[in-house]
Amino acid sequence: MPDHGHLIVTDDDATRIITMRRPQKKNAITQSMYVAMSNAIDTAQNNPDIRCIVITGGSGVFTSGNDLEDFLNDGTADAGAPRASAATKFLYSLAHNVKPLIAAVDGVAIGIGTTMLFHCDYVLASTTATFTTPFIHLGLVPEGASSLLMPRTMGHQRAFAALVMGRAITAEDARIAGFVNVVVGPGHTEAEARKVAREICALPAEAVAISRKLLKTPPEDLTRRIDQESHLFGERMRSKEAIAAFKGFFARRKT
C-alpha cells in the first residue's frame, strides 16, 4: 500500500495497518490525512483478504487530534455545512466499517484521537497513554458520535467528566472505564495489537462478522448522531465563545 505523506498504510498478511506518522506535530490530523484514513478503511470493506484493521500512531504518541490551523483554513469549516467534510467522511467510514478494528495507543490521544476509539472493537494503551476531549474548552461540542457511545460505554458521570469538563483519563482509568482492553509498556502497543489481530484473523470470518454486527450500535444510529453533533459543531464554530477560545489557544501557542 502507498505512503500518503503523513499516513502509512500497509497490509501484513490479513491485517491492514494504518499508521499516523507526523511526529513533529504529534500526529495532528490534517484534512488529507482524514481522506487517506477513510480510503484505507473503505477499501478494506469488500476485500476478503483483509480480516482486521489496526490504527496506530507509532511509539510515543497516538494523535493530538485535529490540526486546528488546517481545520480552520479548510473552507468547509466556515460554510453552512457544519463540519469539515474530510473529518465527517472519516467518521462515516468508522460508522460503516464491518471489519474488526483495533487501536494501539501509545502516548496522547486528544479529541478525535479519543472519540475514534469508541468505534473500535479492541483498544490497547501504553502506561503513558492519556485521553482527553477538550471540545468544550474550545467552545465546541463533542463529535464522532461520542455523545452517544461514551455514556453507553463509561456511564453518564464518567462521560460528563471527560466530554463536558475535559478531564484527562489515564490508561488504567480508561481500562477501568471499559474502553481500553489491555495496558502494556511504552513502545509495545503496536506489536501487541498485531498479536490480537492474528488471534482474530484465526477465527471463522463469517461468524466474527455476524457476531460483531450484533454487538455494535447500528450504523444508522451512529451516522444520525454524527450528523446531529456536526450541525451543532458548525453552529458553535461561529459562536462568540468558540472564536474567543480559538484566539486564546493560538495566542498561548505563540508565547
pLDDT tier for residue 252 given thresholds of 50, 70 and 90: confident
Kindly state whether residue 212 falls inside one of the protein's structural domains: no
Beta bridge pairs of residue 103: 55, 123
Kindly state whether residue 2 falls inside one of the protein's structural domains: no
Rounded to 10 deg, the angle between the 85-96 and 31-42 helix axes is: 20
pLDDT tier for residue 251 given thresholds of 50, 70 and 90: confident
Average pLDDT over residues 239-250: 91
pLDDT tier for residue 70 given thresholds of 50, 70 and 90: confident
157 and 139 Cβ atoms separated by less than 8 Å = no
pLDDT tens, position by position, 164-212? 999 999 999 999 999 999 999 999 999 999 999 999 999 999 999 999 9
The CATH number of residue 14's host domain is 3.90.226.10
**Sign of the dihedral through C-alpha 78, 132, 164, 95:** positive
Kindly state whether residue 112 falls inside one of the protein's structural domains: yes
Kindly state whether residue 200 falls inside one of the protein's structural domains: no
Q: Which domain holds residue 50?
A: 7-187
Neighbour-count burial of 141, counting CB atoms closer than 10 A to its CB (0-12 exposed, 13-18 middle, 19+ buried): buried
Average pLDDT over residues 98-127: 98
Q: Looking at the 3D structure of the chain, how many domains does it have? A: 1
pLDDT tens, position by position, 2-38? 445 799 999 999 999 999 999 999 999 999 999 999 9
Question: How much is the pTM?
Answer: 0.93
Amino acid (1-letter code) at residue 142: P
Strands 7-12 and 15-20 come out as: antiparallel
Kindly state whether residue 196 falls inside one of the protein's structural domains: no
Burial track 111-133 (b if 16+ CB lie within 10 A, e otherwise): bbbbbbbbbbbbbbbbebbbbbb
CA pair distance 195, 16, nearest whole angstrom: 13
Kindly state whether residue 252 falls inside one of the protein's structural domains: no
pLDDT tier for residue 250 given thresholds of 50, 70 and 90: confident
Kindly state whether residue 115 falls inside one of the protein's structural domains: yes
